[in-house]
Amino acid sequence: MSKDEHKNESSRRDFLKSGFAFGIGTLFTGGLFSSCSETTAKVTISDENVEKIKLLTTDGQIVEIDKSKACPISPCEPPVGDEARKGIPGRKFVMVIDLARCANAGKCTSACQLGHNLTPDQEFMRVYLMKDHEYTDPYWFPKNCYHCDNPSCVKVCPVGATFKRDDGVVLVDAETCIGCKFCVSACPYSARVFNWTEDWSKPEVDIEFSPETSIPRIPGTVSKCDFCPDMSRQGKLPHCVTGCPMGAIYFGDANEDTICNGVETLRFKQTIKDKAGYRYLEELGTLPRVYYLPPVDRQFPYERGFEKLTDEQKLRYKNISDNS
């Protein structure tokens, strides 16, 4: 075998490999999220002259169904106005955060701030240091909006600017919001931030506001974590999930029973069942869509979370770190 042949062979193998990976990738994302391209489904004509389409199920089987029964594929562009009040069809988004893995790297916060063009003052995703009682070790506790199924914020909004969608997401329409801030005080999880000023760190791009991206932020209105449905529409994971170097944050769809942290994909219900997943302040009856896996069998001591912090940032966790 000549060198050239060998080269050809190896490049062919590479090509096959990458092709295979690409195929798996598309299958996977196609399964997890509505893919944007409409070419994924093949149209065949059956005997009864009813249009059928082939689709991939979550357990990897290809099935044929009537085209009329298939859900329409959602558009890629984040919708604006009233269109944003409809959820992505067939989805029920959930998030699972594994507390055993969080080391307060702060990457979820910064990735989110980058993705949503936030100022350093605004954190949709915040990392708290928690200590349940004197015998437990403190643990890091990332907290975003819980997208509750019984949301206190939506209840009190006088103008319907914040709303709950079919896909489980709670969003803010900053174009209707009057900035009364009663949703901020109603939220028991301190999830909401207010746009106090117009002095943004970066100039806002001149695009129409979409509740799905929370961009551009409108001064005098309320913002919060939006679960990045715009990313889901593109078949991608939210900024905080991909930002986390520990893979502590899983995001997925309860209808498909799948959650993914960008590296591994798990069954949602089984994970919650096996690892005793819980929801924070369950007793308030808000029914959050964010679950926590308890901080057991930790991969590192909590002190590692302090290593990269400046002295000023360490002040934030003074109430816990002083007592332990």
Partner 1 sequence: MESEYREDILGGFIPHIQKPDRKWYATVFVLLAIIGVGLFAFVYQLYKGQIVTGMRDNVVLGVYTVNFIFFMGLSYAGALIGGIFHIGGFSWGRPMLRMLEIVTITSLIVGPIFILVCIGRPERFLNLFFYARIQSPIIWDVIAIVSDLFFCVVYLHFTYIRDFAKLRDYPNLNIANWRKKFYKIMALGYNDTKAQQRLLHQAQNIMAAIIIPTAIIAYSLLAWLFGMNQRPGWNNSIFAPYFVLSAVYSGIALIIIIMWIYRKVYKLEQCIKKEHFDFLGYTLLLLALFYGYFSFSEYITEWYNSAKTSSILLAKFWDFSEYGFMFMFSNFFAAILPIIVIGIPQFRSIKSIVITSGLIVFALWLKRYLIVIPSLETPYIPIQDERLEWVFYSATWVEWALTLAGIAFFVLAFVVMSKIAPIVNVSEMEEKSKGLKFFYKTRK
Q: At closest approach, how far in Å is the CB of 281 from partner 1? A: 6
Q: At closest approach, how far in Å is the CB of 151 from partner 1? A: 11
Q: At closest approach, how far in Å is the CB of 64 from partner 1? A: 45
- Per-residue 3-state assignment (H helix, E strand, C coil) for the chain: CCHHHHHHHHHHHHHHHHHHHHHHHHHHHHHHCCCCCHHHCCEEECCCCCEEEEEECCCCCEEEEEHHHCCCCCCCCCCCHHHHHCCCCCCCEEEEEECCCCCCCCHHHHHHHHHCCCCCCCCCCEEEEECCCCCCCCEEEEECCCCCCCCHHHHHCCCCCEEECCCCCEEECCCCCCCCCHHHHHCCCCCCEECCCCCCCCCCCCCCCECCCCECCCCCCEECCCCCHHHHHCCCCCHHHHHCCCCCEEEEECCCCEEECCCCEEEHHHHHHHCCCECCCHHHCCCCCEEEECCCCCCCCHHHHHCCCCHHHHHCCHHHHCCC
Q: CB nearer to partner 1: give 224 or 239.
A: 224
Q: At closest approach, how far in Å is the CB of 248 from partner 1? A: 18
Q: CB nearer to partner 1: give 72 or 120.
A: 120
Q: CB nearer to partner 1: give 214 or 221.
A: 221
Q: CB nearer to partner 1: give 28 or 182.
A: 182
Contact 231, 111 (CB under 8 A): no
Q: At closest approach, how far in Å is the CB of 319 from partner 1? A: 6
Q: CB nearer to partner 1: give 47 or 322.
A: 322
Give the span between the Cα atoms of 254 and 201, in whole angstroms.
36
Q: What are the tokens at 181?
A: 């801030």
Contact 215, 80 (CB under 8 A): no
Interface with partner 1 (CB under 8 A) = 121, 126, 128-129, 143, 152, 155-161, 176-182, 184-186, 188-190, 192-199, 218-222, 281, 284, 286, 312-317, 319-320
Placement of tokens 């391209």 in the chain: 37
Q: At closest approach, how far in Å is the CB of 125 from partner 1? A: 13
Contact 52, 250 (CB under 8 A): no
Q: CB nearer to partner 1: give 181 or 304.
A: 181
Q: CB nearer to partner 1: give 196 or 300.
A: 196
Q: At closest approach, how far in Å is the CB of 121 from partner 1? A: 8
Q: At closest approach, how far in Å is the CB of 137 from partner 1? A: 17
Q: CB nearer to partner 1: give 54 or 86.
A: 86
